[in-house]
Structure 1
Amino acid sequence: MKKTYITSLILTGLISVTSCTNLVENVLDEASVSGQTDKQIADGNIAPVYARLPDIFLHTNYFAIQEISSDEAILPYRGGTDWGDNGIYIALHQHTSTSTDPNLRNTWNLLTQSISRSVSALSALPTVNDPNVKTYMAEARGMRAYYNMLLLDLFGLVFVKESPQAISEIRRGEQALEYVRSEFLAAEPDLLTTVGPGRLTKAAVWGLLARLHLNAAVYRDRYATQFTFKPEDMDKVLEYTDKIISSGQYQLARDYFSIFNSDNHDNKELIFAVDQRAELNGHNRMAYFSLSGDQFPLPAFPAANGTDGPGITPDYYQTWTAAYTDPTVDPRFYKQNMVIPADSCVSADNFNMNRGILRGQQYGLLRPTGTFIRCGNNYRIGRLTNVTRNRPTLPVNFTERIDFTVPGSDYNTGYRVLKYEFSKKSSSGRNLGDADISILRLADVYLMRAEAKLRKSNDAAGALADVNTIRAARTATTPAPTLTSMNLDLLYRERGFELYWENLRRTDQIRFGKYEDRWTEKTNNDPKKRLFPIPQNAIDGASNLPGYLKQNDSY
Structure 2
Amino acid sequence: MTKNIVFLMTLLVGVLFTSNSCTDLDEIILDETSATGLSDKQAADGNLAPVYAVLPTLFQHTTYFALQEISTDEAILPYRGGTDWGDNGIYLALHTHTITSADPNVRNTWTTILTGISRSVTAMNALATNPDPVAKTYLAEARGMRAYYNLLLLDLFGLAFIKNDLGEISTIMRGSEAVNFLRDELLAVEPDLLTTVGPGRLSKAGAWGLLARLHLNAAVYRDPYAATFDFKAEDMDKVIEYADKIIGAGQHQLVADYFAIFNTDNHTNKELVFAVDQRAELNGHNRLAYFSLSGDQFPLAPFPAANGTDGPAITPDFYRTWVDAYAPTDPADIDPRFHRQNWTIPADSCVDGATFNMNRGILRGQQYGFLRVNGAFVKCADGKLKVGKLYSASRNKPTLAVNFTEKVDFTVAGSDYSSGYRVLKYEFSKKSASGRNLGDVDIPIVRLADVYLMRAEAKLRKSNDAAGALADVNAIRAARTFSKPAPALTSMNLDLLFRERGFELYWEMLRRSDMIRFGKYEGIWTEKNNTDKSKRLFPIPQTAIDGASNIPGYLKQNQSY
Give the shorter-chain TM-score range. Answer: over 0.9
Change (3 A) 1:493 1:94: same
Match of 1:448 among 438, 449, 454: 454
Residues 397-432 of structure 1 show CA distances to partners (whole Å, capped at 9, x for unaligned) of 000000001110000000000000000000000000
1:369-388 to 2 correspondences below 5 Å: 369-375=374-380, 376-388=382-394
For the residues of structure 2 that align with 1:2 and 1:261, how far apart are their CA atoms?
Answer: 41
Partner in structure 2 of residue 183 of structure 1: 185
| Residue 311 of structure 2 corresponds to residue 305 of structure 1 | no
Matched residue type, 1:341: P
Partner in structure 2 of residue 15 of structure 1: none
Alignment partner of 1:119: what SS?
helix
Partner in structure 1 of residue 293 of structure 2: 291
1:38: how far off?
1.3
For the residues of structure 2 that align with 1:356 and 1:28, how far apart are their CA atoms?
Answer: 43
Change (3 A) 1:100 1:5: farther
How many residues in Structure 1 have an aligned counterpart in Structure 2? Answer: 544
| Residue 544 of structure 2 corresponds to residue 542 of structure 1 | no
Maintained 8 Å contact 1:3/1:29: no
Uncovered stretches (5+) of structure 2, i.e. residues with no partner: 14-27
Maintained 8 Å contact 1:365/1:381: yes
Partner in structure 2 of residue 213 of structure 1: 215
Maintained 8 Å contact 1:8/1:117: no
Partner in structure 1 of residue 341 of structure 2: 336
1:126: how far off?
2.1
Maintained 8 Å contact 2:4/2:43: no
Scaled by the length of structure 1, what TM-score is found?
A: 0.96
1:341: how far off?
1.6
For the residues of structure 2 that align with 1:434 and 1:27, how far apart are their CA atoms?
Answer: 24
Match of 2:445 among 436, 439, 446: 439
Partner in structure 2 of residue 165 of structure 1: 167
Maintained 8 Å contact 2:6/2:47: yes
| Residue 479 of structure 2 corresponds to residue 473 of structure 1 | yes
Matched residue type, 1:222: P
Match of 1:32 among 34, 41, 52: 34
| Residue 370 of structure 2 corresponds to residue 365 of structure 1 | yes
Task: State which drifts further: 116-125 or 271-280.
Answer: 271-280
| Residue 399 of structure 2 corresponds to residue 393 of structure 1 | yes
For the residues of structure 1 that align with 2:410 and 2:484, how far apart are their CA atoms?
Answer: 37
Residues 317-359 of structure 1 show CA distances to partners (whole Å, capped at 9, x for unaligned) of 0000010121111000000001212220001122110000000
For the residues of structure 1 that align with 2:33 and 2:225, how far apart are their CA atoms?
Answer: 52
Scaled by the length of structure 2, what TM-score is found?
A: 0.95
Partner in structure 2 of residue 523 of structure 1: 529
Change (3 A) 1:124 1:143: same
Matched residue type, 2:417: Y
Matched residue type, 1:211: R
Residues 196-237 of structure 1 show CA distances to partners (whole Å, capped at 9, x for unaligned) of 000000000101100000000000111111111000000000
Identity among equivalent positions (%) equals 73
Maintained 8 Å contact 1:8/1:116: no
1:134-149 to 2 correspondences below 5 Å: 134-149=136-151
Maintained 8 Å contact 1:3/1:27: no
Residues 246-303 of structure 1 show CA distances to partners (whole Å, capped at 9, x for unaligned) of 1111000100000000000000000000001242520000100000000000010000
Partner in structure 2 of residue 352 of structure 1: 357
1:37: how far off?
1.5
Residues 164-212 of structure 1 show CA distances to partners (whole Å, capped at 9, x for unaligned) of 1111000111101111111111110100000100000000010110000
Matched residue type, 1:426: S
| Residue 259 of structure 2 corresponds to residue 257 of structure 1 | yes
Alignment partner of 2:230: what SS?
coil
Change (3 A) 1:150 1:217: same
Maintained 8 Å contact 1:261/1:435: yes
Matched residue type, 1:327: P
Partner in structure 1 of residue 25 of structure 2: none
Matched residue type, 1:352: N
Matched residue type, 2:195: T
Partner in structure 2 of residue 483 of structure 1: 489
For the residues of structure 1 that align with 2:372 and 2:52, how far apart are their CA atoms?
Answer: 39
Residues 403-462 of structure 1 show CA distances to partners (whole Å, capped at 9, x for unaligned) of 001110000000000000000000000000001001010000000000000000000000
Maintained 8 Å contact 1:79/1:409: yes
For the residues of structure 2 that align with 1:37 and 1:184, how far apart are their CA atoms?
Answer: 29
For the residues of structure 2 that align with 1:7 and 1:320, how far apart are their CA atoms?
Answer: 49
| Residue 346 of structure 2 corresponds to residue 327 of structure 1 | no
